[in-house]
Chains A and B, each alone.
Chain A
Amino acid sequence: MNEKKLLLVDDEEAIVRVLSISLKSDGYNVIPAHSGQEGLELFEKNIPPIVLTDIKMPGMDGLELLRRIKNTNPDTEVIVITGHGDMDSAIEALRYGASDFINKPVRDEALAIALKRAREKIAIRNQLTAYTNDLEHMCQIATEEVRRKSDFQDKLITSSNDGIVATDENGDIVTFNPGAEMIFGYSRLEVVRKMKFDDLYPEEIAEEFRSGFRRKRDMKGWGWKEVAILNKNGMKVPVRFSGTLLYEKDTVIGSVGFFQDLREIKRLQQELVNSERLAAIGQTVARLAHYIKNILTGLKGGTYIVNIGLDKNDEDKLRTGWSMVQRNIERVSYLVMDLLTYSKERDPDYQNCYPNDIAEDVCELMEGKATQNQISLIRDFDHAIGELCMDPDAIHRCLLNFVSNAIDACLFDLDLEKKWEVRVKTEYVNDSAVKFEVSDNGSGMTSEVKEKLFTAFFSTKGGKGTGLGLLVTQKLVHEHGGKIEVTSEPGRGSTFTMILPFRKNAK
């Protein structure tokens, strides 16, 4: 009801009465006053939103009342009533902030319009106030939200394990999180606003940023890559780095770099490599020890028999024992040779030679063992192969290994009905390569065995294999620029093939 309060001030009692009736009938709660002084008192008591006052009054006149009211309550709508033709007072009143003026004699329509305007102004002002308040409230909420978000992002950056380094558009560092402190060894205070990215980043990265800043064009960020940075102490720290320029619309506003500390990972990797190497060495040593133990057994047995032969002057025993000693010395020398070949880089020793003769020599060497075990050794040589420039030693060792494996494969075969054979084949492939193929119809291999064929110290021959033979063969073949192929079927046998290139210009 407050809005409908209206202070009516006039020194003429009749006017106050008449206007009051008319205003009350319009729904106003009229507070009548008969002088400026009384009007002011009643105003201060009731604070009506609308004041209707005569100007010409004895004592405090309407203008003074208006001035006082506007002074304390500037939002009050004050309508002044002026005498007919008293334009000066009207203008003066407007200057003091009156909302409107009406002339005497007061006509109802004029009054109604003035009041309506006043009410509208009040309504608009109220709305404006509400809007303003609302706006301030919204603004507060938004500010709070922004602050929370920024806090949140700060925390994100701060709590990241990755080092985060951000610069402004000039390359000055503005963000340097604890992760970055850990990696670079500088504190935030030493860096922020004091260093540029050039001072921290390794040259290859700094250069990319520099050129990005120069071009100011769209530039793709860099995916992760491994680099080493120099920390405060001048130590190299391996990191994974990724970074990008920051844009607002098309303008570069800065850059950011992410750094992941790889020291721990590198250390673990190294540890893993070390422990794997140790395990491999352990395994190697165990297998070698086992193999050497077998040789030692042979040597000991040989010397024991030799001693008995000496004691009894038994030439038979002497021969048996001595050949055992010799055989085992040979095994040691093969082992050492294999180990050396396996562990050292070696260039093929190219010489003019007859590959078929080498194959024949290998067959002759293995003939005894084959015959002894009812295995036929079949030679299938291509006579188109003449004198070629190759490494005869390498060929000899590889073929010997193939044939000796093939015979073992027959010995390990469980199918005693089979008529075992080992076939040694040579073939002139073309003007640059010769193929050697050794196939057997022995035990064959399961796919698991096949997979491990070229693994160091893998052997299926119990204590009788070094687990080096094929590995050495493969190495020799590769060094000779050739390739090695294996096919096998359990129970059916295996075929080992090597294709070796030869040199055209035999010297």
Chain B
Amino acid sequence: MAKKILTVDDDPDIIAFVKTVLEENGYAPIIARNGEAGLAMVRQEKPALVILDVLMPKQSGIRMYREMRYDEELKNIPVVVLSGIAKRTFLRSQEALTEFGDQPVPEPDAYIEKPVEPEELAEVIKKFVS
């Protein structure tokens, strides 16, 4: 059975694109449009991997990433951040949250800055989902 991969993004273009890439590579895409819905879906579906946008309404990818890493059941699910935001900006915001007293979290398993080529995305996913 095809492995489930969750895409969390509020941009319909990105969703359509990532969904197609996933289907083309034999995965089963599932979709959430914000961090909150994403977190609920991760808990419910236990996907093999999460592709996560950073800037989204309701709950951002920054927060959703931390919630996943705090959760014993979810902390080992690989997360690939796919964002228009530079990696160092994302890491800095994570550090800032840590400084304000939150538990520190490891860096995401992979970080891809938009725009991304379909091949690149497929390759990164393959690293984590055999």
Contact at A294–B114, with CB atoms within 8 Å? Answer: yes
B2 near A: Cβ within 8 Å? no
**Which of B10-18, B71-79, B95-103 lies at the interface?**
B10-18
Tell me whether A464 and B11 are in contact in the complex, defined as CB-CB below 8 angstroms, given that A290-B84, A304-B20, A412-B57 are known contacts: yes
Q: Which residues of A (291-309) have their CB < 8 Å from a CB of B?
A: 293-294, 296-298, 300-302, 304-305, 308
Interface residues of B in 85-112 (CB under 8 A from A): 85
A324 pairs with B16, CB closer than 8 A: yes
Q: Which of A290, A304, A412, A414 has the most CB of B within 10 A?
A: A304
Given contact pairs A412-B57, A462-B55, A294 touches B84 in the complex (Cβ within 8 A): yes
Q: Which residue of A lies closest to B13 (CB)?
A: A298
A328 within 8 A of B: yes
- CB < 8 Å: which of A297, A413, A414, A416 contacts B114? A297
- Given the complex, which residues of B lie within 8 Å of A297, measured CB to CB? 13-14, 17, 84, 114-116
A296 touches B115 (CB 8 A): yes
Q: Give the CA-CA distance A414 to B63 in the complex, in Å.
A: 13
A321 CA to B17 CA in the complex, in Å?
Answer: 8
Contact status B13-A327, CB under 8 Å: yes
Q: Enumerate chain B residues within 8 angstroms of A305, measured Cβ to Cβ.
A: 16-17, 20
Interface residues on A, range: 20 to 34
Contacting residues, chain B, for A304 (C-beta < 8 A): 17, 20-21, 118
Complex contact B55–A301 (CB within 8 A): no
Cα-based distance from A413 to B34 in the complex (angstroms): 12
Q: How far is the CB of B100 from chain A (nearest CB, A)?
A: 18
Would you call the interface of chain B mostly helix, strand, loop, or mixed?
loop
Does chain B have a CB within 8 A of A284?
Answer: no
Question: For residue B17, which residues in chain A have a CB less than 8 angstroms away from its CB?
Answer: 297-298, 300-302, 304-305, 324
Given A293-B115, A416-B58, A464-B11, CB of A301 within 8 Å of CB of B16: yes
By a CB distance below 8 angstroms, the chain B residues around A122 are none
CB proximity of B94 to chain A, nearest CB, Å:
17
Shortest beta-carbon distance, B46 to chain A, in Å? 24
Chain A: minimal CB distance from B39 (Å): 13
Instruction: Give me the 4 closest cross-chain CB pairs, A-B, nearest first.
Output: A301-B17, A462-B55, A298-B13, A297-B115
Can you name 30 A-B residue pairings with CB atoms under 8 Å?
A: A293-B84, A293-B114, A293-B115, A294-B11, A294-B114, A297-B14, A297-B84, A297-B115, A298-B11, A298-B13, A298-B14, A298-B17, A300-B17, A300-B115, A300-B117, A301-B16, A301-B17, A302-B16, A304-B20, A304-B21, A304-B118, A305-B20, A308-B24, A324-B16, A328-B13, A411-B57, A416-B36, A416-B58, A463-B55, A463-B85
Give B contacts to A, CB under 8 Å.
10-11, 13-14, 16-17, 20-21, 24, 36, 55, 57-58, 84-85, 114-118
